[in-house]
Structures are given as C-alpha cells and as structure tokens.
A and B are shown apart, each in its own frame.
Chain A
Amino acid sequence: MKNKAGLILIVFSLLVVGCATTQQRLLDSDSSQVQLRSIQTRAFETTDKEKTLRTIMSTLQDLGFVIDKADATLGTVSATKLKNYALRITVTVRPRGETQLLVRANAQYNVQPVTDPEPYQQFFASLEKAMFLTAHQVD
C-alpha cells in the first residue's frame, strides 16, 4: 500500500510540475534560442523601414490589436489584443544586408510565451498580403 501511495505522489508531482519554475520564467531559457528565432523571424525584400512598420501596424489593427507604442528609430511596435484574453505582441524591424529587412515578432498569451510556430505563420501570412511581398524563412 505504501508503494501505491508513493506512485500517486509521483504522478501528482509530475503533473503539477508541467509548468516551469518561477525563476526559470525570467529568461525563459527552456526553449531553444535558435529554433525560437527561426519561428519568429522572416526576411522581406525591402529596405523601407518606415513603410514596413506602418504596414505592420495596419496588419496588427486588422488582426484586432490596439497599438500600445511604436518607435521608428529602434524599429519596434507593441500591441495588445483583448478578447477575454490578453495577447501582447512586439514586432521589430531591422536591416539585413543591403536589400532586406528582418521582421521578428514575439507574443505572449495571458501569462505565457507563445512558442508554437502556427500563430507566427498566421501572422506572417497576413503581413505578406499587406506588404505585397513574400516572407522568406531565415536560417
């Protein structure tokens, strides 16, 4: 009977440990940095940073976000979507070589980072249409 009680305790603790410990959450270093970057980043064949940022904002608005802040010099836009959940996203734009811009998005859903590739694919699919440009996967 003691064994069984131990088993129950182990199963229970395994289930509860499903989420990371509170300290790990500061740097969220449990997921692979390289993999996360490739999920969140696309390259576009343009050098017009300002127009890209404006298009990003317009896409975010189409997706139901309200813009929180934007910085043309740094090339960042942050926005929040409220729909009985809080989805916060930051999109950054920076030059890559002479002819391309790198667009990176990272999102947080309520109190968790969004690490699934799918939501980012959907975001870049919408952005592609608004930019009239193809989003290239970056290795």
Chain B
Amino acid sequence: MNKFYQLLFTVILFGLISISGCATIPKDALSLSPESLAQRQMQTRKYETKDEAKILAACAGLLQDMGFNIDESETKLGVITSSKMRSAVSAGQQVAAVFVALLGGGYMPTDKEQKMRASVITRPIGERGEHIAVRVTFQRIVWNTQGQVTTSESLTDPKIYQEFFDKLSKSIFLEAQEI
C-alpha cells in the first residue's frame, strides 16, 4: 500500500513538472519598471528639426553603416526595424569547452551565432512638433552549437547608445552635406 502511494506521488509530481512546462507570463512583464524612465532617457535624443523624414533617412544610413539590414519601415509612423546575424563565438567559452573535453567531460555546446536587432522610432515632440525625438532600442538572441537559444535580452549598456547617437549626429551632418 505504501509503495502504491509512493508511485502515485511520483506520477503526480512528474505530471506537475510536465505541466509547468507551459509556464505563465511573469507578473511584471507588462508593467513599467522603475528603470524604464532612465532607460528611455538613455535611448532617446532630441534633434532641432521638423523634418522627420530626413532624420529617418539618416537613421537608415547609420544602421547600414553599422552592418544592419533594414527589415521593415513605416515612414508615416517613424519606424525602422533592422537586424544582423553575427558570430557569437567567444575565446573564453572555447577554452572552457576544450578543458571540459580534456578532463573527460565530453562535448560542451558553446555559443555559435547571434541575431542582433535594432529598431529606431522617431516622433515629433514639443508644442508645435518643432523637435524630433529619436529612440533606438537593441536586443539580441544567441544560439549555441546545438541550435538552442542561450541568451535573449535587451541591450542596456549606456556606451552602445552613446556611440549610436554620436554616429547619428555625424550621419545627419553627412546626409545634409550629401556626401
């Protein structure tokens, strides 16, 4: 009898684990986080112009400079989305994998490639829409040598955004000069 309950318990436990495979959405996934304001400031710059199309064109040019391919765009709403595939092989992981193999740990999957996405949204701000705000957001997905996703995240390093907007200022200048 005891064995029967043990078995029943195991079965229920296993069943619960397999159900939790379809886990539900985290509570905070669609609510504003305390960092959201700081992130918005980091990801946004204001330009003194009314010409949204010109800014968008400059952004498209800059994304191309950085090796992104444009996926979608909607000029009426100030949207450009772009992506690129790059290698995600890191020396550290490779060395670790070799050590694991040498120590008899067998094959260890390492990061292989990543898809990086950039999306630029512009919008007129100010009372008469006399400025254009540009907000860029980046994210990436990393796959390992077995094709499994190992990382999927938003990129929040301030340096990335600083560099992007430094380049955008140059790009806007270049577009204006038509070089």
Contacts and interface: CB of A to CB of B under 8 A. Distances in A.
A84 B152 contact: yes
B74 A69 contact: yes
A87 B25 contact: yes
A81 B36 CA distance: 14
Secondary structure type dominating chain B contacts: mixed
A119 B4 CA distance: 42
A66 B74 contact: no
Nearest to A82: B152
Contacts of A14: 15
A50 B36 CA distance: 24
A85 B152 contact: yes
Contacts of A53: 77
B24 A109 contact: yes
A40 B16 CA distance: 29
A63 B141 CA distance: 19
A103 interface: no
Given A64-B36, A84-B152, A58 B30 contact: no
A70 B19 contact: no
A50 B30 contact: no
B79 A57 contact: yes
A120 B22 CA distance: 19
User: Which 3 A-B residue pairs are closest in the complex by CB-CB distance?
Assistant: A15-B15, A82-B152, A72-B76
Interface of A: 4, 7-8, 11-12, 14-16, 18-19, 50, 53-54, 57-58, 61-72, 77, 80-87, 107, 109-112, 114, 116, 118-120, 122-123, 125-126
